[in-house]
Structure 1
């Protein structure tokens, strides 16, 4: 159980970094967006990958603690 506070600190730092990048760019670099006329298509591929990696790491570390 002593690893749990460290895990929460790491998760918090990761979320802060993602939030800062997201705030600076409005979207993560690598996200796909097309605008033609009055139609806009936005596919957040990099955002999806980052969220997937973060969630995978969170669940991995929680599984290691149990």
Structure 2
């Protein structure tokens, strides 16, 4: 796999993860949320994994 393809795939996963969190897919079990009053941290680990698997399946299907 070429480096450009990997960079494109990673950027697409990041973009789709951000969009999916903003439009309702966020807060899945496995996503890391730390909320301590004045500090809020959210790491959508499970959401990114789901988006990555779906994109991988789509790219695999079209590559065949």
Following TM superposition, by how much is the alpha carbon of 1:29 offset from its aligned partner in structure 2, in angstroms? 1.3
Q: Which runs of 4+ in 1 moved over 4 A?
A: none
Deviations 1:4-26 (A, max 9, x none): xxxxxxxxxxxxxxxxx83xxx5
Unaligned runs of 5+ in 1: 1-20
Larger Rg: 1
Q: Which 10-residue stretch deviates more, 46-55 or 28-37?
A: 28-37
Question: Which residue pairs with 1:59 in the alignment?
Answer: 59
In 2, Cα distance between equivalents of 1:27 and 1:63: 32
Question: Which residue pairs with 2:27 in the alignment?
Answer: 27
TM-score normalised per structure 1: 0.56
Residue correspondences, number: 41
TM-score normalised per structure 2: 0.58
Unaligned runs of 5+ in 2: 1-23
